[in-house]
Amino acid sequence: MLEIRSARKTFYRGQADEKIALDGLNLKLATGEFGVVIGSNGAGKSSMLNAISGSLGLDSGQILVNGSDVSNMPVHKRAVRLARVFQDPMKGTAASMTVAENMLLADLRSTRRTLRRGLTAARLATYRERLSILGLGLENRMDTRVELLSGGQRQSLSLIMAVGGSPDLLLLDEHTAALDPRTADIVMDATVRAVDALKLTTLMVTHNMQHAVDFGHRVIMLDAGRVRLEIAGEEKAKVTVPDLIGHFSVKTDRMLLAS
């Protein structure tokens, strides 16, 4: 469960270039829920993810993960409870190491064990099983160096590595944005398989409106550091890409009128 209460963050306060990134943002995500965050450039999406993961300190407000207030918890302590996948498929994995070695690294990171026992048969079997969730055949490429994988395979591997420690929350930070459309769809398919199989509470930021329509339980539109629109349930099932884009244009028209 994630709860953001009245989160405020202003950059360059009191200066000519003052920027309000989060303007009393409130958001709740139930355990097992998959929320998809959309919004125009500068709406506050990255600031929100950075505040959740702890790399951005709030001026005021609270962030609760599974009921406990993590607002003042340092990044490395929050990292144990949160998984985050970034845009760049080259980050998050070690290129010159094999798929199996990368899985071991992630395992050691999340369990704080030592490298001593290495890639035992039991561990390899567990990694194969976990990789098979993705539906990409990576479980049959355990000895392949990661640099030889496609961008989509590599990003999907980053994802399954990130969630190995059963995190309380998965943050997907435009994790398909750097991929071509077909590869992005493959990664989204792998993502949904992992989220469903591991029952992950997930918050995904995307600029891809088709993905916002097709995936997740709720669309959350941010604007000027606040939630401006939420679409869930039957409404979400019926929403179309033009509908979502329409909400962007309404906002833009308002901004034009106000300026």
Ligand X SMILES: Nc1ncnc2c1ncn2[C@@H]1O[C@H](COP(=O)(O)OP(=O)(O)OP(=O)(O)O)[C@@H](O)[C@H]1O
Complex with ligand X: residue 20 or 105, whichever CB lies closer: 20
- State the minimum distance, in angstroms, from the CB of residue 45 to ligand X: 3
Query: Using CB under 6 A as the criterion, what x/- string covers residues 177-216 for binding ligand X?
Result: ----------------------------------------
**Residues in region 223-252 near ligand X by CB under 6 A:** none
**Residue count, binding to ligand X (CB under 6 A):** 11
Q: Does 159 bind ligand X (CB under 6 A)?
A: no
- State the minimum distance, in angstroms, from the CB of residue 130 to ligand X: 30
- Identity (one letter) of the amino acid at 140? N
Query: Using CB under 6 A as the criterion, what x/- string covers residues 81-120 for binding ligand X?
Result: ----------------------------------------
- State the minimum distance, in angstroms, from the CB of residue 15 to ligand X: 10
| DSSP one-letter string for 15-71 | STT-EEEEEEEEEEE-TT-EEEEE--TTSSHHHHHHHHHTSS--SEEEEEETTEE-T
User: CA-CA distance, 100 to 130, in Å (whole number)?
Assistant: 11
**Residues in region 1-60 near ligand X by CB under 6 A:** 11, 19, 21, 39, 41-47
Count CA within 13 A, CB hemisphere, residue 193: 17
Complex with ligand X: residue 200 or 220, whichever CB lies closer: 220
User: CA-CA distance, 252 to 248, in Å (whole number)?
Assistant: 6
Complex with ligand X: residue 31 or 252, whichever CB lies closer: 252
192: Cβ–Cβ under 8 A, 6 or more apart, which residues?
Answer: 215
Q: Are 98 and 146 in contact (CB under 8 A)?
A: yes
- State the minimum distance, in angstroms, from the CB of residue 102 to ligand X: 28
- Identity (one letter) of the amino acid at 248? F
- State the minimum distance, in angstroms, from the CB of residue 17 to ligand X: 8
| DSSP one-letter string for 181-203 | HHHHHHHHHHHHHHHHHHT--EE
Q: Are strands 82-85 and 68-69 parallel, antiparallel or unpaired?
A: unpaired
Complex with ligand X: residue 9 or 78, whichever CB lies closer: 9
Which residues are registered as beta bridge partners of 235? none
- State the minimum distance, in angstroms, from the CB of residue 156 to ligand X: 23
Complex with ligand X: residue 18 or 69, whichever CB lies closer: 18
Complex with ligand X: residue 44 or 89, whichever CB lies closer: 44
2: Cβ–Cβ under 8 A, 6 or more apart, which residues?
Answer: 27, 28, 29, 52, 63, 64, 65, 169, 201, 203
Complex with ligand X: residue 21 or 100, whichever CB lies closer: 21
Cα–Cα distances (Å) from 88 to 76, 85, 147, in that order, read: 21, 9, 14
Of how many residues is the chain composed?
259
- State the minimum distance, in angstroms, from the CB of residue 188 to ligand X: 18
The footprint of ligand X (CB under 6 A) covers 11, 19, 21, 39, 41-47
